[in-house]
């Protein structure tokens, strides 16, 4: 997570290249698809900058809590969930009828339970989550390229098996907002999130006798200097993600999502290599079929992901931390591959990753988001044990 | 792997990805301007575009293999 003030040495050439690429792609999207697609790409850049500058991750944050009861990262995540719920619930409750938005609601069943559990294990083996994989790749972490490649492969395999998983028992889609109305649902949700907030805070206090703050003390560097060059305190990360999540909802019409694009990229690559992915039921109808038969630049999730990667490249170059030196060995590569496969497969089964399934699910008032949280955290505990078993904690650099 | 090697690998990977996206983009027809007009005006009706590229799925949105469980693209 964000550290104290330090001298930064921006990589000017990388800054210029990323700015050039971002501007060029934004203008092209505007010319071909219109303002909406360009705005979503720029929103993705904002998310990428926020994620990298605040080092806002899930895998190391959850691991640190399990290992050492350090809860600042989890409290920042819970604060983000609470603040986003306060903004999103009234919108999904249609108090602004002119807004056309669709919540991220998934079925509450074995598929989500299994998928989130596998995803939790994958997060620890791969040392990254859905969003973390993107911003660490953008930050130039070579080992995360391996995770991303296998994340994509796992996503495609997940689409091939999804129907089988969906035939297993499920309670169907359950929306808290539809069940109770947006205000009672919001109060219930805030109560649950606050209870979790105080629980993790209590556990940290009991272990360490102190609480590490989410908001850091004033530092020597100016606000603007820190905003541009980073690192950000977690509270700034929460603010950035809140702002850009809201923009995503208002512009795209649905909450932030990431991993559909991975499956789509894999399916397109498979097709380009001569495979016939369209014979799979998942890719033969509805939105997936349309996305497969359109330009990748027409897919909202894909262009937002491109934005996140480019935003992270820009932020890392500004911070002078782009493409750090890495020690790679076969153990690290194998664990990254296994982690990536589990992340991709799990995310497909769970109706999303830590962003599309967990964050967007919960802030949409979907019970599947809460199931994701429980199953994903259990999977993370199993993943932390697996890391110890294979000696990963000695080789993996703490990141995301 | 030192800083320069990392930079080279990441730069090559991003360049390759950009090339792949460009190739994919050229293999598909450009969007229909009429459709774009509808989209920008936000005037899709359920019948016109029940599950467009931008509205993957959701409650009651028929973008699924079946009604009960929707393997939609919202993740």
| Contact between residue A105 and residue A173 where contact means Cβ atoms under 8 Å apart | yes
Task: Kindly indicate the confidence band of residue B56, based on its pLDDT and cuts at 50, 70 and 90.
Answer: very low
Q: From the CA of B12, how many Å to the nearest CA of chain A?
A: 11
Task: Kindly indicate the confidence band of residue B32, based on its pLDDT and cuts at 50, 70 and 90.
Answer: low
Q: Using CA coordinates, name the residue in chain A closest to B46.
A: A100
CA within 13 Å, CB half, A227:
6
Q: How many residue pairs bridge chain A and chain B with CB atoms within 8 Å of each other?
A: 169
Task: Kindly indicate the confidence band of residue B67, based on its pLDDT and cuts at 50, 70 and 90.
Answer: very low
Per-residue pLDDT of chain A (400 residues; tens, 9 = 90+): 444 445 678 999 999 999 999 999 999 999 999 999 999 999 999 999 999 999 999 999 999 999 999 999 999 999 999 999 999 999 999 999 899 899 999 999 999 999 999 999 999 999 999 999 999 999 999 999 999 999 999 999 999 999 999 999 999 999 999 999 999 999 999 999 999 999 999 999 999 999 888 776 556 788 899 999 989 999 999 999 999 999 999 999 999 999 999 999 999 999 999 988 888 889 988 889 999 999 999 999 999 999 999 999 999 999 999 999 888 888 889 999 999 999 999 999 999 999 999 999 999 999 999 999 999 999 999 999 999 888 887 644 444 4
d(CA A359, CA A355): 5
Task: Kindly indicate the confidence band of residue B50, based on its pLDDT and cuts at 50, 70 and 90.
Answer: very low
Residues of B in contact with A357 (CB under 8 A): 75
Chain B window 24-43: which residues touch A at a Cβ cutoff of 8 Å? 24-25, 27-28, 30-31, 36, 39-40, 42
Q: From the CA of A347, how many Å to the nearest CA of chain B?
A: 8
Residue A218: what pLDDT? 59
Residue A394: what pLDDT? 61
Return the DSSP state at B41: H
Which residue is it, tokens 């999303």? Answer: A352
Is the preceding peptide bond at B43 cis, omega within 30 degrees of 0? Answer: no
Residue B69: what pLDDT? 39
Count of CB atoms situated within 10 Å of the CB of A168: 13
- Nearest residue, CB atoms, A35 vs list B24, B27, B40: B40
Across the interface, whether the CB atoms of B57 and A172 are under 8 A apart is answered no
Q: Using CA coordinates, name the residue in chain B closest to A168.
A: B69
- Cβ–Cβ contact A288 with B under 8 A: yes
Across the interface, whether the CB atoms of B75 and A287 are under 8 A apart is answered no
Count of CB atoms situated within 10 Å of the CB of A157: 16
Partners of residue A262 on adjacent β-strands: none
Residue A39: what pLDDT? 97
- Cβ–Cβ contact B63 with A under 8 A: yes
3-state secondary structure B18-36: HHHHHHHHHCCCCCCHHHH
- Cβ–Cβ contact B58 with A under 8 A: yes
Residue A238: what pLDDT? 97
Q: Is the pLDDT of residue B35 over 90?
A: no
- Cβ–Cβ contact B19 with A under 8 A: no
Domain ranges of chain A: 12-395
- Cβ–Cβ contact B62 with A under 8 A: yes
- Cβ–Cβ contact A314 with B under 8 A: no
CA within 13 Å, CB half, A55:
20
- Nearest CA to A355 out of A133, A60, A72 is that of A133
3-state secondary structure chain A: CCCCCCCCCCCHHHHHHHHHHHHHHHHHHHHHHCHHHHHHHHHHHHHHHHHHHHCCCCHHHHHHHHHHCCCHHHHHHHHHHHHHHHHHHHHHCCCCCCCCCCCCCCEEEHHHHHHHHHHHHHHHHHCCCHHHHHHHHHCCCHHHHHHHHHHHHHHHHHHHHHHHHHCCCEEEECEHHHHHCHHHHHHHHHHHHHHHHHHHHHHHHHHHCCCCCCCCCCCCCCHHHHHHHCCCCHHHHHHHHHHHHHHHHHHHCCCCCCCHHHHHHHHHHHHHCCCCHHHCHHHCCHHHHHHHCCCHHHCHHHHHHHHHHHHHHHHHHHHCCCCCCCCCCHHHHHHHHHHHHHHHHHHHHCCCCHHHHHHHHHHCCEHHHHHHHHHHHHHHHHHHHHHHHHCHHHHCCCCC
- Tokens coding B10: 């990441």
Which residue is it, tokens 């990428």? Answer: A48
Q: Is the pLDDT of residue B61 over 80?
A: no
């Amino acid at each position: 997570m964000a550290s104290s003030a330090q001298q930064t040495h921006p990589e000017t050439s990388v800054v210029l290249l990323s700015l050039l690429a971002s501007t060029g792609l934004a203008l092209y999207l505007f010319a071909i698809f219109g303002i909406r697609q360009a705005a979503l790409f720029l929103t993705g850049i904002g998310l990428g900058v926020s994620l990298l500058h605040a080092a806002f991750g899930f895998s190391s944050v959850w691991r640190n809590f399990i290992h050492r009861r350090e809860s600042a990262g989890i409290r920042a995540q819970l604060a983000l969930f609470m603040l986003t719920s306060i903004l999103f619930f009234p919108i999904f409750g249609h108090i602004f009828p002119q807004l056309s938005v669709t919540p991220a609601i998934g079925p509450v069943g074995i598929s989500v339970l299994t998928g989130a559990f596998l995803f939790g294990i994958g997060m620890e083996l791969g040392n990254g989550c859905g969003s973390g994989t993107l911003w660490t790749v953008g930050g130039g972490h070579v080992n995360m390229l391996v995770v991303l490649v296998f994340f994509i492969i796992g996503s495609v395999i997940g689409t091939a098996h999804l129907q089988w998983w969906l035939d297993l028992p499920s309670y169907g889609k359950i929306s808290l907002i539809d069940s109770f109305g947006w205000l009672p649902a919001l109060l219930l949700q805030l109560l649950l999130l606050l209870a979790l907030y105080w629980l993790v805070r209590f556990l940290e206090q009991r272990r360490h006798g102190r609480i590490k703050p989410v908001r850091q003390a004033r530092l020597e560097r100016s606000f603007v200097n820190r905003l541009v060059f980073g690192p950000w305190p977690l509270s700034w990360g929460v603010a950035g993600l809140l702002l850009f999540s809201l923009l995503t909802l208002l512009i795209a019409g649905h909450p932030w999502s990431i991993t559909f694009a991975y499956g789509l990229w894999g399916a397109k690559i498979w097709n380009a290599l001569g495979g016939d992915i369209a014979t799979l039921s998942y890719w033969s109808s509805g939105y997936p079929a349309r996305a497969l038969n359109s330009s990748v630049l027409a897919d909202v999730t894909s262009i937002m992901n491109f934005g996140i990667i480019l935003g992270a490249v820009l932020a890392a170059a500004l911070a002078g931390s782009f493409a750090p030196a890495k020690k790679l060995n076969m153990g690290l590569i194998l664990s990254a591959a296994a982690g990536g496969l589990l992340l991709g497969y799990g995310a497909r089964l769970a109706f999303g990753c830590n962003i599309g399934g967990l964050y967007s699910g919960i802030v949409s008032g979907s019970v599947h988001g809460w199931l994701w949280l429980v199953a994903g955290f259990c999977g993370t505990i199993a993943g932390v044990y697996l890391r110890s078993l294979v000696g990963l904690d000695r080789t993996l650099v703490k990141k995301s | 792997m030192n800083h320069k090697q990392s930079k080279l690998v990441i730069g090559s990977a991003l360049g390759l990805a950009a090339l792949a996206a460009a190739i994919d983009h050229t293999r598909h027809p450009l969007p229909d301007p009429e459709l774009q007009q509808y989209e920008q005006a936000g005037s899709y009706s359920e019948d016109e575009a029940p599950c467009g590229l931008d509205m993957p799925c959701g409650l009651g949105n028929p973008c699924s293999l079946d009604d009960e469980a929707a393997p939609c693209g919202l993740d």
